[in-house]
Amino acid sequence: MQTKITDLQDIELKAYAFSINMFSFVKTLEKAGKADNTTTYLLNLANSFYTNYLAAVDAKSEYERKVFLEESKNIAEECLSVLQSFETENKFLNEKVDLIIEIAELNKNIEINE
């Protein structure tokens, strides 16, 4: 069974939203003086995730699509791991948990066909 383009495009919108939400979270932390190397890394992961996923949507072959989707899953797993281990104050906890839920859902919905 091949991945449907419409499914890829639906998830692409959610990946884009995740990237924007991560940017907002990092900016909030930055304004509060709480940004550090980890927050920069999280932002880079979110952007890499979206970029790879976008490349999967635009892939010309099934092989390219599979490669980009696998990379997207790897980045999503890394992002999830970093978010889960990221220590933050309680006032930022809701945003962090929302991001964890978003990236976990995205990762779960990416299907890679053999």
Which of the residue ranges 3-17, 79-93, 100-114 would you say has the lowest mean pLDDT? 3-17
pLDDT of residue 64: 94
CA 101 to chain centre: 11
Give CA–CA dist 62/30, Å, rounded: 40
pTM of the model: 0.88
The one-letter amino acid code at 80 reads L
What domains are defined for the chain?
Answer: 5-109 (1.20.1440.60)
Q: Give the CA count within 13 Å in the CB-facing half-sphere of 90.
A: 0
The predicted-structure confidence for 63-103, as pLDDT tens digits, reads as follows: 999 999 999 999 999 999 999 999 999 999 999 999 999 99
